[in-house]
């Protein structure tokens, strides 16, 4: 750690206030170029603690920057991990108040719901599949608090990996007999195809992203509890959305989910 506890607390308050007030900010490494990975996750943890102290419930976790398309789009080279609270959860088919967001983008994802907890080290894709209750379609709405979505890995980790909202589809599908690598993914915006991909774009297998999350949490003495939702990461580049847009994600065999920006 290179930042003092006071600085960690101040940066967490700053980033969370930007989230709650839908304001952007320059990336925090501009002012704190020496911050390290432990500082970045300490700021994210402090944001989590602020939310749970106000009554938020942790409902799941997310892996991000798990596909080459996303890494290329954001100019970074490794995955990041964040948390999801109940307030981020948006009902399938509903409308989202765009005025409460800064510059939202949507990502097509494969969502996992666990029936057993997962803990690293040594977690792998097969262990993830054995612990999975069901998989379904997941739309993630990301909304970086950084101006123009310009950040480096440490800044984005501190900002809870741009987490903002998510939609979980209504069809729960068991993983037995399903090859998540070859599932086709189609994201439509206003009735037109905006992005296309297949599950294998996510670290070769979406369950590998969940395993990486379990190993990350395990290294910090945490695990993914049973019942958690896990977003395994955008299959394609994220697609910018604005007020008036409608998005629909269809994942082969997993069904569709949709969202309106109002
Ligand atoms: C960081 C979050 C990326 C994903 O699925 O790749 C992410 C960002 O691009 O703002 O959630
Ligand atoms: Mg994502």
- What confidence tens digit (pLDDT) does each residue in 205-229 have? 999 999 999 999 999 999 999 999 9
Ligand 1 pocket residue status of 161, Cβ below 6 Å: yes
Share of the chain above pLDDT 70, in %: 100
* CA–CA dist 44, 9 (Å, integer): 10
The values of phi and psi at residue 165, to 5°, are -145, 165
Full-model pTM: 0.97
Ligand 1 pocket residue status of 144, Cβ below 6 Å: yes
Please give the mean pLDDT across all residues of the chain.
97
Ligand 1 pocket residue status of 79, Cβ below 6 Å: no
Distance 77 CA to ligand 1 centre (A): 12
> Which of 26-30, 70-74, 238-242 comes out lowest in average pLDDT?
70-74
Ligand 1 pocket residue status of 82, Cβ below 6 Å: no
DSSP string, 65-114: S-BHHHHHHHT--S-EEEEEEGGGEE-TT-EE-GGG-SS-EEEEEEEEEE
Contact by Cβ (8 Å): 240, 103: yes
Q: Which residue has the higher pLDDT, 72 or 141?
A: 141
Nearest atom of ligand 1 to the alpha carbon of 234: 5
The pLDDT value recorded for residue 60 is 98
Q: Is the pLDDT of residue 170 over 90?
A: yes
Distance 157 CA to ligand 2 centre (A): 13
Q: Is the pLDDT of residue 149 over 90?
A: yes
* CA–CA dist 106, 234 (Å, integer): 9
Average pLDDT for 135-149: 98
Ligand 1 pocket mutation, candidates 101, 234, 237, criterion most atoms within 8 A of CB:
234
Nearest atom of ligand 1 to the alpha carbon of 70: 6
Share of the chain above pLDDT 90, in %: 97
The pLDDT value recorded for residue 195 is 98
The pLDDT value recorded for residue 56 is 98
Residues 80-107 have pLDDT tens digits of 999 999 999 999 999 999 999 999 999 9
Ligand 1 pocket mutation, candidates 15, 60, 61, 65, criterion most atoms within 8 A of CB:
65
- Residue 112 in tokens: 């996992």
Q: Is the pLDDT of residue 77 over 90?
A: no
Ligand 1 pocket residue status of 201, Cβ below 6 Å: no
Ligand 1 pocket mutation, candidates 62, 64, 166, criterion most atoms within 8 A of CB:
64
* CA–CA dist 45, 31 (Å, integer): 20
């Amino acid at each position: 750690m290179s930042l003092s506890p006071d600085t960690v607390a101040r940066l967490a308050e700053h980033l969370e206030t930007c989230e709650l007030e839908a304001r952007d900010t320059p990336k925090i490494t501009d002012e704190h170029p020496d911050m390290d990975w432990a500082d970045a996750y300490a700021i994210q943890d402090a944001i989590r603690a602020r939310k749970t102290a106000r009554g938020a419930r942790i409902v799941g976790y997310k892996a991000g920057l798990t596909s080459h398309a996303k890494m290329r789009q954001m100019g970074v080279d490794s995955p990041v991990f964040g948390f999801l609270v109940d307030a981020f959860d948006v009902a399938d088919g509903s409308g989202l108040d765009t005025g409460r967001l800064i510059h939202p983008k949507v990502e097509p994802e494969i969502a996992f719901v666990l029936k057993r907890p997962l803990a690293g080290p040594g977690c792998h894709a097969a262990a993830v599949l054995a612990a999975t209750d069901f998989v379904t379609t997941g739309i993630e709405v990301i909304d970086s608090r950084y101006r123009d979505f310009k950040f480096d890995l440490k800044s984005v980790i501190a900002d809870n990996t741009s987490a903002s909202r998510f939609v979980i589809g209504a069809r729960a599908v068991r993983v037995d007999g399903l090859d998540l690598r070859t599932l086709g993914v189609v994201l439509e915006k206003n009735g037109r195809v905006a992005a296309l991909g297949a599950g294998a774009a996510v670290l070769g297998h979406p369950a590998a992203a969940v395993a990486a999350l379990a190993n990350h949490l395990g290294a910090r003495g945490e695990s993914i509890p049973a019942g958690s939702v896990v977003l395994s990461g955008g299959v394609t580049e994220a697609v910018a959305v604005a007020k008036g847009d409608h998005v629909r994600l269809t994942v082969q065999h997993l069904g569709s989910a949709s969202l309106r920006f109002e």
